[in-house]
Structure 1
Amino acid sequence: MDDHNKTKDALIRELEQLRSQVAAQDQPSAASPQNIEELTALTHAAESFLGVHDLPSLWPRIKTAVQNTLQPDRMAIFIYDSENDTLSCPYYFGLSQTYIDHINKIFREAPGTEQLNRLASIWIEDAQADPSFNDLREIVKAEGFHALASFPLIDNRGKTGGGIALYWDEIRPLNSSHVNTGHTLAHMIALAINTITLFTQTREALQRETQLGEISRMLNTTPDLPTLLGSVVKMVAELIKADSGLIGLVIDRDIMTFYPHNVPNWMNLRPAPRPRGLAWQIVRNCEPILVADYPDHPEAMQKWIKAGVTTFVGAPLRAHDHCLGMLALFNLNNSPRLFNQRDLDLVVSVGQQAGTAIQNLRMLAETQQRAAAMAAALNRQAELDMMKNNFTQSVSHELRSPLGIIYGHAELLASESLGELNEDQKQSSKIIMRRVLMLTNLVEDLTALLAAETQELRREDIDTTMLIYSLLADYQMRAEDLEISLEAEIAEPIPWIRGDSTHLRRVFDNLVSNAFKFTPAGGTITLRLNAEGEDVHIEVADSGEGIPDDKLGRIFERFYQVESGSARRHKGTGLGLTLVKEIVEAHRGTVSVKSELGQGTTFTILIPGFFPEPVADQAEAPE
Structure 2
Amino acid sequence: REARLKVGEGVMGQVASTATPMYVADTYACEGFIFFDKAVRSLMVVPLLVKDRVIGTLSVDHAIPNAFTEDDERLLTIAAAQAAIAIENARLVQGLRERAEALAKAYEELKELDRMKDELIQNVSHELRTPLTFVKGYVELLLAGDMGPLNEEQMKSLRIVANKTNTVTRLVGDIVLLQQIEQEQLDLVPVSLVSIARRAIAGSQATAVRQGVQIELEAPPDLPPALGDEGRLEQVFDNLLGNAIKFSPGGGEVRVILEETEDAILVQVSDQGIGIPADKLERIFDRFYQVDGSSTRRFGGTGLGLAIVKRIVEAHGGRVWVTSREGEGSTFYFTIPKAGTRA
TM norm structure 2 = 0.90
In the other structure, the counterpart of 1:516 is 245
- Aligned equivalents of 1:381 and 1:306: distance in 2? 55
Structure 1 residue corresponding to 2:3, chosen from 253, 269, 273 = 269
Computing the radius of gyration from Cα coordinates, the structure with the larger value is: 1
Offset at residue 437 of structure 1 (A) = 1.3
Which of 52, 55, 62 matches 1:324? Answer: 55
Deviation at 1:330, TM superposition (A): 2.7
2:283 is paired with a residue whose SS is coil
Partner of 2:105: 376
Contact persistence 2:6–2:13 (CA under 8 A): no
* Aligned ranges 1:122-521 → 2 under 5 Å: 263=1, 269-270=3-4, 272-297=5-30, 300-301=32-33, 303-304=34-35, 307=38, 309-331=40-62, 335=64, 338-454=67-183, 456-521=185-250
What does the per-residue CA deviation read over 1:281-314, in whole Å, with 9 as the maximum and x for residues that have no partner?
222333322211124335x44x417845422111
Cα deviation for residue 469 of structure 1 reads: 1.1
Whole-Å separation in 1 of the counterparts to 2:186 and 2:118: 15
Deviation string 1:78-112 (CA, Å, 9 cap, x unpaired) is: xxxxxxxxxxxxxxxxxxxxxxxxxxxxxxxxxxx
Which 5+ residue runs of structure 2 have no aligned equivalent? none
Q: Which runs of 5+ in 1 are unaligned?
A: 1-262, 613-623
Deviations 1:512-556 (A, max 9, x none): 111111111111111112222441111111112222223233222
Amino acid at match of 1:281: Q
CA shift for structure 1 position 462: 2.5
- Residue deviations 1:303-343, cap 9 Å, x none? 417845422111112334332110123345xx468333444
**8 Å contact kept, 1:520–1:544:** yes
Count of residue pairs brought into register by the alignment: 341
Distance in 2 (CA, whole Å) between partners of 1:573 and 1:567 is 8
Higher relative contact order structure (alpha carbons within 8 Å, sequence separation ≥ 6) = 2
- Given that residues 295 and 309 in structure 1 are in contact (C-alpha distance below 8 angstroms), is that contact kept between their aligned partners in structure 2? no
Verify the 8 A CA contact 1:496 1:611 in the aligned structure 2: no
Q: Quick one: distance in 2 between partners of 1:501 and 1:403?
A: 29
Task: Specify the SS of the correspondent of 2:280.
Answer: helix
Q: Deviations over 1:103-159 (max 9, x none)?
A: xxxxxxxxxxxxxxxxxxxxxxxxxxxxxxxxxxxxxxxxxxxxxxxxxxxxxxxxx
Which residue type is aligned with residue 52 of structure 2?
A: D
What is the one-letter code of the residue matched to 1:354? A
TM-score by length of 1: 0.51
Counterparts of 2:188 and 2:123, CA distance in 1: 24
Candidates 315, 318, 328, aligned match of 1:589:
318
Which of structure 1's runs of 4+ aligned residues deviate more than 6 A? none
Identity of matched residues, %: 37
Q: Is the 2:190–2:225 contact (alpha carbons within 8 Å) kept by the matching residues of 1?
A: yes
Give how far 1:577 is off.
1.5
Maintained 8 Å contact 1:592/1:605: yes
Task: Please provide the CA RMSD for this pair.
Answer: 2.5
| Residue of structure 2 aligned with 1:557, choices 286, 290, 294 | 286
Query: Letter of the aligned partner of 1:387 in structure 2?
Result: M
- CA drift of 1:418 comes to 1.5
The whole-number CA distance in structure 1 between the counterparts of 2:127 and 2:298 is 31
Q: 1:407-439 CA deviation, whole Å, 9 max, x = no partner?
A: 112211111112222223222322222122111
Given that 1:495 and 1:534 are in contact with CA atoms closer than 8 Å, whether structure 2 keeps it comes out as no
Q: Distance in 2 between matches of 1:413 and 1:460?
A: 45
CA gap of 1:597–1:609, structure 2 versus 1, over 3 A, is same
How far apart are 1:585 and its partner, in Å? 1.2
